[in-house]
């Protein structure tokens, strides 16, 4: 009987540790607080635009991940809110030549986009 109690105690202890580490839904608990996710609608529409936007943002301080859907023009971005904000990210996208929600594309940056991108965007 003592062995059963010991084994049961060990099992409950291990399950408790797993829940503490993994969280209640089985996902790893974020190590860093203040991680936010935003969806930004852009004027970008092609694979080249996708590559350009994701490449620029992944090397931006505070950005954790950037996932752009070229079919819809929507960008799902995960970032550290203490280092960068959604409005700053919109400004970066605008500076690349694309609209980002309410922030219009920088005209000079739009002019240097590849012709194929400008044709798809409609400029």
Instruction: Tell me the domain boundaries of the chain.
Output: 1-31, 35-121
pLDDT higher at 17 or 99: 99
- What are 79's strand-pairing partners? 36, 63
pLDDT digits (tens, 9 = 90+) for 33-71: 789 999 999 999 999 999 999 999 999 999 999 999 989
SS3 track for the chain: CHHHHHHHHHHHHHHHHHHHHHCCCCCCCCCCCCEEEEEEEECCCCHHHHHHHHHHHHCCCCEEEEEEECCCCEEEEEEECCCCCHHHHHHHHHHCCCCECCECCCHHHHHCCCHHHHHHHCC
Residue 39, pLDDT score: 96
**C-alpha count within 13 angstroms, C-beta hemisphere, residue 43:** 23
Maximum pairwise Cα distance, the chain: 79
Q: May I ask the CATH architecture of the domain 35-121?
A: 2-Layer Sandwich (3.30)
**Is residue 5 over pLDDT 80?**
no
């Amino acid at each position: 009987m003592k062995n059963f109690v010991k084994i049961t105690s060990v099992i409950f202890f291990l399950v408790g540790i797993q829940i503490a580490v993994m969280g209640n839904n089985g996902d790893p608990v974020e190590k860093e607080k203040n991680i936010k996710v935003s969806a930004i609608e852009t004027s970008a529409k092609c694979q080249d635009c996708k590559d350009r936007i994701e490449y620029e943002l992944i090397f931006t301080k505070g950005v954790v991940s950037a996932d752009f859907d070229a079919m819809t023009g929507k960008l799902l971005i995960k970032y550290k809110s203490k280092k960068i904000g959604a409005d700053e990210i919109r400004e970066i996208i605008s500076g690349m030549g694309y609209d980002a929600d309410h922030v219009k594309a920088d005209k000079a940056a739009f002019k240097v986009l590849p012709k194929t991108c400008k044709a798809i965007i409609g400029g």
